[in-house]
């Protein structure tokens, strides 16, 4: 009887241990499942466009667009994943469904709207021509016979092509704004044509001179999505909220104030 009772107690202990193991495994599976089910928002950018997007000394993404993207992702309950690529490949990445959205200081041109959908515009800037500090280039009329550098795929590339017909300058196209600045510093281009906010940053940092493009008012910047994306309406609601509560202005004061 005593032996039987001992066996009974041992059996209860084994059952209890198995139950505990089962509970532990069940929780682990649930945790793993939760991780797998977490929504991921894949964003592409071209991190050579300070102060909108660039990398710090440790290689981390930083800038106005980066901070804004994180705010949007948080509001919508997504984990943000950022992929860096050349600017002229961004729309193709959307069309092939490699990413969910693009934030790269991208202007909402009519040409681009044929291929992607845009959010409401979240920033307006304009364009500038920048040159060496001692340059005598002070206006469009001084660019005849000169070489103007632009970044591939940008609104400035389109604008320079049109202006070159009227003002008689050559257009040189490069992959990114960092290369464009190197081209300017090494005198391989006479002028760099770029977004005004970015240009002002380079002028302050490296002592260039410059003048604004007086010919037209460029469209504002928007977040780009694949055609028909369900994210557009949700992101527009967040942008409106950030505008109304002052968070968008805080980011502009942090990154874009001259």
Question: According to the model, what pLDDT value does residue 216 have?
Answer: 73
Q: Output b/e per residue, 41-51; b: 16+ Cβ within 10 A.
A: bbbbbbbbbbb
Distance (Å) of CA 242 to CA 46, 54, 61:
24, 23, 21
Q: Poorest-confidence range of 25-39, 178-192, 206-220?
A: 25-39
Q: Poorest-confidence range of 65-69, 117-121, 200-204, 239-243?
A: 200-204
Task: Tell me the pLDDT band of 38, cut-offs 50, 70 and 90.
Answer: low
Of 128, 180, 177, 175, residue with least CA distance to 149 = 180
Phi–psi pair at 135, nearest 5 degrees: -70, 145
Percentage of residues of the chain with pLDDT beyond 90: 81
Residues 60-85 have a mean pLDDT of 98
- pTM of the predicted structure, to 2 decimals: 0.79
Residues 215-225 have a mean pLDDT of 89
Q: Please list, in sequence order, all residues whose beta carbon lies within 8 angstroms of the beta carbon of residue 112, skipping any fewer than 6 positions away.
A: 91, 106, 118, 224
First to last CA, the chain: 90
Residues 90-104 have a mean pLDDT of 97
pLDDT digits (tens, 9 = 90+) for 111-161: 999 999 999 999 998 999 999 999 999 999 999 999 999 999 999 999 999
Residues 93-97 have a mean pLDDT of 97
Cβ–Cβ under 8 Å, residues 184 and 151: no
Percentage of residues of the chain with pLDDT beyond 70: 84
The 3-state DSSP class for residue 26 equals helix
pLDDT digits (tens, 9 = 90+) for 161-174: 999 999 999 999 99
């Amino acid at each position: 009887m005593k032996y039987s009772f001992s066996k009974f107690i041992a059996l209860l202990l084994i059952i209890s241990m198995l139950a505990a193991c089962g509970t532990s495994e069940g929780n682990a599976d649930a945790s793993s499942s939760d991780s797998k089910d977490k929504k991921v928002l894949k964003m592409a950018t071209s991190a050579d466009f300070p102060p909108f997007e660039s990398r710090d000394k440790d290689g981390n993404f930083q800038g106005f667009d980066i901070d804004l993207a994180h705010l949007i992702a948080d509001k919508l309950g997504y984990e943000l994943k950022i992929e860096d690529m050349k600017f002229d490949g961004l729309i193709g990445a959307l069309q092939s469904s490699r990413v969910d959205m693009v934030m790269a200081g991208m202007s909402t041109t009519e040409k681009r709207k044929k291929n992607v959908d845009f959010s409401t515009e979240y920033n307006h800037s304009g364009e500038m021509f920048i040159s060496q500090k001692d340059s005598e280039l002070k206006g469009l009329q001084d660019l005849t016979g000169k070489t103007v550098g632009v970044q591939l795929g940008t609104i400035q590339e389109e604008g320079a092509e049109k202006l070159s017909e009227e003002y008689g300058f050559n257009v040189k196209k490069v992959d990114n704004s960092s290369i464009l600045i190197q081209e300017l510093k090494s005198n391989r281009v006479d002028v760099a044509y770029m977004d005004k906010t970015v240009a002002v940053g380079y002028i302050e940092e490296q002592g260039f001179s410059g003048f604004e493009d007086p010919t037209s008012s460029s469209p504002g910047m928007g977040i780009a999505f694949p055609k028909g994306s369900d994210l557009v309406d949700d992101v527009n609601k967040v942008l409106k909220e950030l505008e109304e509560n002052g968070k968008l202005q805080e980011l502009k004061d942090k990154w874009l104030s001259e």
